[in-house]
């Protein structure tokens, strides 16, 4: 759907909040806490598509809000949002999808966010509050000026803020220990934080199924490479700041996708021949599948070598 | 066209019957002359005016009688409707989906007024006029899943999505082809499909699950499944096998056309907004062989499908004992002529 940018509001030097509404004022589909939408950005010849967690109230269909961190080194999607999008613009926004939902069986929910990883939890807190389910949230940031999440978080006793510059680093083991049986923990943030939480959970004997994390990836930029599409009888060059999926789309090749972040599995593509090394950046294929080089996830993964032939 | 609802039963004297129009719109499930399991999933878009695919929740001449039959089954066995505590939100999502779809698709039968959380629902065929507060169970006579399930043809499973899998954590199931909600509750997609032959080896369930976990809001899908039932009985449950199992032995060459039914399930998949759960409506349609063969294409094709069906499938679907009698009966309606593509009558 095409939605209008209703407001653009800086939350910190690097993070800006965007609000989208339906141009006719129609209600938008409701969603569950942790859901994301894919925003389409027309950029010259190509359309960039980035996934962003919704930070508005899941039960409020009057608009969608996202918080975007500016990444100067990325492929340009978030830079585009910061530099080219203004109030009144129309942008394509997909239907909400959720790959990081709450496990509603939990007796209690412990939410741990690092930096911009706070975004999925904003809507989850609203959902948990409405359902009257017990939770606590830990928000970690380096400094107060970088802590854009502070502007989004409600003033509740369950919300704990950890600013490392102020000597107030979060201790994962302390957060996880002493929680009631049946608690689920959710982590979203830099890989180091996700690993530290998984580690602490394992040491404290938490069941794996009670530890959730959002390992959402933006496709990394890389070197250009060539790829041959057997069914479409095409050979393409994937540019340095373009994903393989974006290159397929730009060439008009039909390729499925959902998360565009290497976690949903929807874009999985068979590799017919590979002379070189696939740079697997996804969290979908297992280690054996990655080593076999017979499958690739075009939304995040790249290639280096002589030639790569795909079943597309 | 205004619907006339049949006065009919699905047990005892079995007075269930299809009008000529209902026969023509029957969802014949075979698009070619042979059958094997496949990932036969397509978008659940309005298709063909008058067909069972025209509306999201098809309401037909059997509506009122089916809801009466469900009430009898639920009164005998309340465990046919279960919802684990974390599925209440999904129940409300499902209630909203049905009320919105039915009031939009059948405004003459169903009306929904919404003023914030204050809702007013009118179901004319069943004579229901209910004011309630959305998301407040104390304002309904029972939980949201049971409430709307008693007013919606077909069984309904609510699947929670976690750990990349689907979990059957709620449902209302009274017209099932020999499986039990009470047995399956809490199981995941692979666990409840374990009894199905061949499909696991074909990789069907793995691919189907990947598809289902990615179903998006506003983009429902559907598939058809089928089996065979003796007498037009909705409740062919394992719990009541003693009531219907022995009826298989009553088939004779003389009565097979009237007593043997093809049972088709129109299954659909919807993502629910607030809960991120999936709802899986399983709508059952029944047609006797003698009605089915009034469409010449269907008679020819069904004969070929059943004649060539792998034994494991006939065994699993529970009609192996009567298979030869059924095939002999259908052979009389197969002149060997070619059949056209697709499922619809010529
Ligand atoms: C989430 C949605 C689904 C639910 C709740 C569901 C549930 C079931 C159940 C309860 C059975 C009976 C198993 C038994 O014998 O106890 C069954 C059978 C079966 N299911 Fe599913 N199913 C779902 C989706 C699918 C999909 C998407 C496919 C395939 C594309 C599929 C393929 C089958 C097949 C082939 C059978 C055997 C049916 C027969 O031969 O009569 N199911 N399903
Ligand atoms: S689109 Fe989700 S893994 Fe590629």
**pLDDT tens digits, one per residue of A88-109:** 999 999 999 998 999 999 999 9
Strand, coil or helix: B169: strand
Angle at A24 between CA A18 and CA A27, to 5 degrees: 70
Residues of chain B short of pLDDT 70, as ranges, are 1
How far is Cα A38 from Cα A84, in angstroms, rounded to an integer? 17
ipTM exceeding the 0.90 mark: no
Q: Which pLDDT does position B119 carry in this prediction? A: 98
Q: What is the pLDDT of residues A246-294, one digit of tens each?
A: 999 989 998 888 788 887 788 999 999 999 999 998 878 989 999 999 9
Confidence of residue A218 (pLDDT cuts 50, 70, 90): low
Mean pLDDT score across all residues of chain A:
92
Pocket test for ligand 2, best of A38, A49, A216, A267 (most atoms within 8 A of CB): A267
Residue B223 is among the residues annotated as catalytic for this protein: yes
Give the pLDDT score at A217. Answer: 61
DSSP letter assigned to residue A95: P
Picking from A58, A103, A264, the nearest residue to B274 by CB comes out as A58
Question: What pLDDT is recorded for position B1?
Answer: 47
Residue A64 has pLDDT above 90, yes or no: yes
Most confident of A33-47, A69-83, A113-127, B206-220: A113-127
Domains A2-98 and A108-214 share a fold: no
B71, containing H or E segment: helix B63-76
What is the rounded distance in angstroms from the CA atom of residue A184 to the CA atom of residue A206?
Answer: 9
Q: What is the CATH number of domain A108-214?
A: 3.40.50.80
pLDDT of A180 over the 70 cut: yes
Instruction: Give the side-chain half-sphere CA count within 13 A for B153.
Output: 23
Q: How far is the CA of A245 from the centre of ligand 2 (A)?
A: 9
Q: What is the pLDDT of residue A216?
A: 58
Q: In what order do the strands lie in the sheet with A225-229?
A: A234-238, A225-229, A302-310, A269-279, A295-296
Alpha-carbon dihedral angle through residues A55, A61, A63, A68, given to the nearest 10 degrees: 20
Tokens standing for A261? 């972040």
Contact A278, A300 (CB under 8 A): no
Could you read off the pLDDT of A21-40 as tens digits, one per residue? 999 999 999 999 999 999 99
- Domain residue spans of chain A: 2-98, 108-214, 225-310
pLDDT attached to residue B217: 92
Q: Is A86 helix (H, G, I), strand (E, B) or coil?
A: coil
For B65, the token pair is: 């009688």
Pick A2-98's CATH classification: 2.60.130.10, 3.30.200.20, 3.40.50.920, 2.40.30.10: 2.40.30.10
pLDDT at A75: 65
Instruction: Give the gap in angstroms from C-alpha A164 to the nearest C-alpha of chain B.
Output: 32
Residue with tokens 């990394």: A220
Helix (H) or strand (E) holding A183: strand A183-188
- pLDDT at residue A14 greater than cutoff 80: yes
Pocket test for ligand 1, best of B196, B309, B312 (most atoms within 8 A of CB): B196
Fold of A225-310: Ubiquitin-like (UB roll) (3.10.20)
Q: Which ligand is the nearest neighbour of the Cα of B310?
A: 1
The answer to whether the CB atoms of A95 and B218 lie below 8 A apart is: yes
Residue A74 has pLDDT above 80, yes or no: no
Domain ranges of chain B: 20-83+152-331
Token pair for residue A218? Answer: 């933006």
For A21, A55, A149, B258, the CA distances from A37, given in Å and listed in that order, are 13, 11, 19, 53
pLDDT tens for residues B240-278?
A: 999 999 999 999 999 999 999 999 999 999 999 999 999
Q: b vs e for B18-35, b when ≥16 Cβ sit within 10 Å of the residue's Cβ?
A: beeebbebbbbbbeebeb
**Pairing, β B278-288 against β B260-271:** antiparallel
């Amino acid at each position: 759907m095409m939605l209008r940018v209703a407001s653009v509001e800086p939350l910190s030097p690097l993070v800006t909040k965007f609000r989208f509404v339906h141009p006719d004022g129609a209600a938008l589909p409701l969603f569950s806490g942790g859901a994301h939408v894919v925003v389409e950005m027309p950029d010259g010849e190509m359309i960039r598509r980035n996934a962003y967690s919704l930070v508005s109230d899941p039960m409020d269909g009057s608009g969608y809000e996202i918080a975007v961190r500016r990444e100067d080194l990325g492929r340009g999607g978030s830079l585009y949002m910061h530099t080219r999008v203004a109030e009144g613009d129309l942008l394509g926004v997909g239907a909400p999808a959720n790959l990081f939902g709450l496990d509603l069986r939990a007796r209690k929910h412990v939410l741990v966010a690092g930096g911009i990883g706070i975004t999925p939890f904003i809507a989850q807190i609203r959902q948990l509050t409405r359902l009257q389910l017990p939770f606590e949230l830990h928000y970690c940031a380096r400094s107060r000026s970088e802590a854009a999440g502070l502007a989004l978080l409600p003033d509740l006793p369950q919300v704990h803020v950890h600013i490392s510059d102020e000597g107030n680093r979060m201790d994962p083991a302390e957060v996880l220990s002493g929680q009631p049986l049946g608690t689920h923990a959710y982590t979203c943030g830099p890989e180091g934080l996700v690993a530290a939480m998984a580690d602490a959970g394992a040491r404290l004997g938490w069941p794996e199924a009670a530890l959730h994390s959002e390992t959402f990836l933006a496709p990394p930029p890389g070197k250009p490479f060539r790829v041959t599409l057997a069914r479409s009888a095409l050979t393409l060059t994937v540019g340095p700041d373009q994903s393989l999926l974006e290159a397929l789309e730009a060439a008009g090749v039909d390729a499925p996708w959902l998360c565009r972040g290497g976690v949903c599995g929807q874009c999985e593509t068979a590799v017919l021949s590979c002379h070189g090394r696939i740079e697997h950046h996804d969290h979908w294929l297992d280690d054996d599948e990655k080593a076999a080089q017979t499958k690739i996830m075009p939304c995040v993964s790249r290639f280096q070598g002589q030639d790569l032939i795909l079943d597309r | 066209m205004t619907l006339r609802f049949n006065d009919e039963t699905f047990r005892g004297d079995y007075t269930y019957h299809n009008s000529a129009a209902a026969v023509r719109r029957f969802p014949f499930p075979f698009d070619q002359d042979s059958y094997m399991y496949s990932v036969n999933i397509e978008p659940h878009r309005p298709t063909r005016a008058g067909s069972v695919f025209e509306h999201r929740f098809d309401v037909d001449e059997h509506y009122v009688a089916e809801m009466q039959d469900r009430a009898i089954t639920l009164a005998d066995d309340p465990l046919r409707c279960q919802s684990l505590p974390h599925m209440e939100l999904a129940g409300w999502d499902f209630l909203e989906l049905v009320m919105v779809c039915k009031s939009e698709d059948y405004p003459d039968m169903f009306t929904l007024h919404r003023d914030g959380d204050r809702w007013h629902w009118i179901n004319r065929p069943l004579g229901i006029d209910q004011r309630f507060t959305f998301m407040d169970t104390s304002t309904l006579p029972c939980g949201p899943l049971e409430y709307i399930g008693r007013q919606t043809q077909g069984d309904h499973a609510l699947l929670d999505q976690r750990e990349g899998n689907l979990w059957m954590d709620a449902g209302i199931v009274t017209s099932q082809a020999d499986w039990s909600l009470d047995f399956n509750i809490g199981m995941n997609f692979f666990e409840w499909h374990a009894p199905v032959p061949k499909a696991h080896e074909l990789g069907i369930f793995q691919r189907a699950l990947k598809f289902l976990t990615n179903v998006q809001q506003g983009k429902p899908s559907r598939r058809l499944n089928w089996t065979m039932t003796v007498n037009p009985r909705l409740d062919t449950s394992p719990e009541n096998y003693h009531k219907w199992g022995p009826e298989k032995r009553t088939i004779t060459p003389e009565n097979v056309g009237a007593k043997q039914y093809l049972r088709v399930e129109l299954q659909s998949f919807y993502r629910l907004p607030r809960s991120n759960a999936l709802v899986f409506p399983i709508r059952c349609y029944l047609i006797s062989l003698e009605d089915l063969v009034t469409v010449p294409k269907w008679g020819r094709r069904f004969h070929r499908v059943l004649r060539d069906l792998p034994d494991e499938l006939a065994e699993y679907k529970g009609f192996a004992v009567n298979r030869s009698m059924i095939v002999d009966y259908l052979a009389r309606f197969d002149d060997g002529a070619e059949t056209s593509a697709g499922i619809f009558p010529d």
